Amino acid sequence: MNTARRLPAEWEAQDAILLVWPQPHPGWDAVFPEVVTAYLNLIKTIRRFEPVILIAPDLQTAEQVKQQTDPSPFLLTTYVAASNDCWARDFAPITVYENDRPRLINFKFNGWGGKFLAELDNQLTLSLSKQGVFKNTPLENHDWILEGGSIDSDGQGILLTTSRCLLSDSRNPGVTKEQTEKLLHETLGIHTVHWLEYGWLEGDDTDGHIDMLARFCNPDTIAYVQCKDKNDPHYEPLHQMEHELKKISRANGMPYHLLPLPLPSACCNQKAERLPASYVNFLIINNAVLVPVYQQPEDKIALKQFEKIFPDREIIAVDAQPFIHESGSVHCLSMQIPKGVISS
């Protein structure tokens, strides 16, 4: 085990949340005004609890956003940098603590296995570091392709992920599971990887990101998507994933506490194609949890579950229905900046 390094859990103290302003894309053609409204609401909500670092495509956009979101208890800091997309979770830096000091890890990003353009996204972290966004926190670059949404940490050296994504040949061809575990150990200090072979959401183009399927809520608890409708095509893969989760154990050998979150009723685009809606794509911030909702009956059920999971945090519903037209949600849009990266 690389004891010098530790990948913090999302519930640990944060300096800020990093966001990248959305730009028009084909899936958003019919709903882009709603996307902008929902995104501005996301910024305002986060700023009730902590600062936001917003990456904008130009100074004009940055100024417009400031005018539309001020005032707020916490700062909105804007920087200008080019990007292909807004899904910061997958190309923003991942922070580890090395001997209790933060270090940024900049992995390669290739557009979810070459599905989409990604050259600008792949360069974003380096651009931001040069602009001084992360103050004096050292940046470590790696040629290995890894997306932040494909991994989830308990903060104690245990990782949750999916084989279908992390072992995809379209990302790191020829790299074995054993080699992947070694790389996770060396770069992130991981000593145990829980691999899920099952789990799937229709409309998801990430090859099964874990942050849509199952997430740590604390070192002992995992929230996951559950489908009870045997006529739904999700039933079998999610039922198999649930069975896998029941078999894995904590470091002490005890099983995890599992809290099911309902699969939302089908959300579809104008072509009647199902969109990947998931309550598991929640975002933990300082003193609150932002829960994506989709204007579906299951929203209330999910919110009640989150109240059980996080009794000491404010549970806030965030309209994410416009976002999923481009196959992502609240967690996908954001990357937490842990304490010490930009604070002294």
Catalytic positions? 332
Q: State phi, psi for 214 to the nearest 5 degrees.
A: -155, 135
Residue 73 in tokens: 């208890």
Q: For residue 71, is the peptide bond before it cis, meaning its omega torsion is within 30 degrees of 0?
A: yes
Residue-by-residue DSSP string for 57-91: SSHHHHHHHHHHH---SS-EEEEE---S-S-HHHH
How far is CA 315 from each of CA 18, 286, 312, rounded to the nearest angstrom? Answer: 20, 11, 9
Count Cβ neighbours within 10 Å for each residue of 178-192 and write b for 16 or more, e otherwise. Answer: eebbebbbebbbbeb
Provide the 3-class DSSP secondary structure of residue 42. helix
User: Which residues, in sequence order, are CB contacts of 79 under 8 Å at separation 6+?
Assistant: 53, 54, 55, 56, 62, 128, 131, 133
User: Which residues, in sequence order, are CB contacts of 160 under 8 Å at separation 6+?
Assistant: 151, 152, 153, 154, 194, 196, 210, 214, 215, 216, 222
Pairwise CA distance, residues 222 & 62, whole Å: 37
**DSSP annotation of 276:** -
- Radius of gyration for the chain, computed over Cα atoms and rounded to the nearest angstrom: 19
User: Which residues, in sequence order, are CB contacts of 6 under 8 Å at separation 6+?
Assistant: 96, 97, 98, 155, 156, 157, 189
User: Which residues, in sequence order, are CB contacts of 32 under 8 Å at separation 6+?
Assistant: 24
Residue 95 in tokens: 């922070």
